[in-house]
């Protein structure tokens, strides 16, 4: 059967992602002695830099995991819930009959980071620095942008330029839409990850303790404080009006990624 992509086979390991850099990072982790979960975390964090139109620190992480030594599947829920203040009454009080699709009012608790950290803690073998350093390097030094990233930025260029100035600072270098192949760096993200690593390693040399310290810094420390502060401002959304957010540091502090038992169904012995 004809296919546009070759069948992937391997006797040592295979990594497949939606971006070649993330796949290369995952394979490098395997070659350095990491397991599949170490590779998944490293690749996932790299995608936050290489595909900012699809991934990011504010996103989520639903994952289905399978370990041969355990022999059963697990569902990892890295999907943050809605903030406590995101009530029907609040939105109706703002004169809205639907949650705007963009802007602060649509924001849920960012679950991706805690999801990746839970996976690394429970199933990985490497330290946070080992799996994060490749992504950190790309955030600091840049990745070549693919066409779809540039197209997505182009669709929201006016909103960034006119209203979302902090986004324009990152995604409109020189005030214009970047061209495909141009190196794109995210120094603010690199600085955030660097500080997370510093705070994690300040907790001592134990791998699990470092991961827990990073989770704490993100959801109860300086990252949560910055998100809380930013959400108190007003920003234009798809309602055509400016609104402040309802996501708070307390929302973030009260949430953690967790595991769910996968739903199963027996069908004729399968």
Q: How confident is the model at residue 42 (pLDDT cuts 50, 70, 90)?
A: very high
What digits encode the pLDDT tens for the residues 250-261? Answer: 999 999 999 998
Q: What is the pLDDT of residue 29?
A: 98
pLDDT at 2 over 80: no
How far is it, in rounded angstroms, from Cα 79 to Cα 87?
A: 18
pLDDT at 187 over 90: yes
Strand spans (E) along the chain = 61-67, 72-78, 143-144, 183-184, 234-236, 242-244, 258-260
How far is it, in rounded angstroms, from Cα 139 to Cα 154?
A: 21
Q: What is the pLDDT of residue 133?
A: 98
How far is it, in rounded angstroms, from Cα 209 to Cα 228?
A: 25
Mean pLDDT of 176-192: 96
Q: What is the pLDDT of residue 9?
A: 82
Q: How confident is the model at residue 3 (pLDDT cuts 50, 70, 90)?
A: confident
Q: How confident is the model at residue 51 (pLDDT cuts 50, 70, 90)?
A: very high
Q: What percent of the chain has pLDDT over 70?
A: 100
Angle value at C-alpha 76, between 204 and 262, nearest 5 degrees: 145
Cα within 13 Å of Cα(241), Cβ side: 11
What digits encode the pLDDT tens for the residues 188-227? Answer: 999 999 999 999 999 999 999 999 999 999 999 999 999 9
What digits encode the pLDDT tens for the residues 59-99? Answer: 999 999 999 888 888 999 999 999 999 999 999 999 999 99
The phi-psi region of residue 54 (left if phi > 0; otherwise alpha if psi is between -120 and 50; otherwise beta) is: alpha
pLDDT at 6 over 90: no
Secondary structure letter of residue 77 according to DSSP = E
How far is it, in rounded angstroms, from Cα 48 to Cα 202?
A: 25
Q: What is the pLDDT of residue 4?
A: 81
Which has the closest alpha carbon to 109: 270, 218, 243, 236? 218
Q: What is the pLDDT of residue 148?
A: 96
- 203 phi, psi to nearest 5 deg: -80, -5
Alpha-carbon separation of residue 99 from 86, 110, 138, 232 (angstroms): 9, 17, 35, 17
Q: How confident is the model at residue 182 (pLDDT cuts 50, 70, 90)?
A: very high
């Amino acid at each position: 059967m004809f296919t546009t992509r070759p069948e992937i086979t391997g006797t040592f390991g295979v990594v497949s992602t939606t971006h070649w850099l993330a796949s290369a990072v995952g394979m490098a982790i395997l070659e350095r002695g990491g397991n599949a979960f170490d590779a998944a975390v490293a690749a996932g964090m790299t995608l936050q830099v290489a595909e900012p139109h699809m991934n990011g620190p504010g996103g989520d992480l639903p994952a289905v995991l399978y370990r041969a030594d355990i022999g059963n599947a697990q569902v990892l829920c890295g999907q943050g819930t809605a903030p406590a203040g995101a009530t029907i009454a609040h939105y109706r009080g703002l004169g809205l009959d639907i949650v705007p699709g963009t802007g602060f009012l649509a924001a849920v608790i960012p679950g991706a980071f805690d999801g990746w950290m839970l996976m690394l803690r429970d199933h990985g073998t490497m330290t946070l620095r080992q799996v994060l350093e490749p992504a950190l390097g790309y955030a600091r030094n840049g990745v070549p942008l693919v066409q779809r990233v540039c197209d997505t930025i182009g669709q929201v260029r006016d909103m960034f330029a006119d209203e979302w100035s902090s986004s324009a600072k990152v995604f409109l270098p020189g005030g214009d839409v970047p061209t495909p192949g141009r190196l794109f760096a995210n120094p603010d993200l690199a600085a955030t990850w660097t500080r997370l690593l510093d705070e994690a390693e300040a907790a001592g040399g134990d791998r699990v303790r470092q991961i827990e310290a990073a989770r704490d810094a993100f959801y109860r420390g300086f990252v949560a404080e910055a998100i809380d502060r930013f959400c108190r401002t007003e920003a234009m959304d798809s309602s055509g009006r400016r609104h402040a957010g309802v996501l708070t540091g307390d929302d973030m502090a009260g949430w953690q990624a967790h595991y769910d038992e996968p739903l199963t169904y027996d069908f004729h012995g399968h």
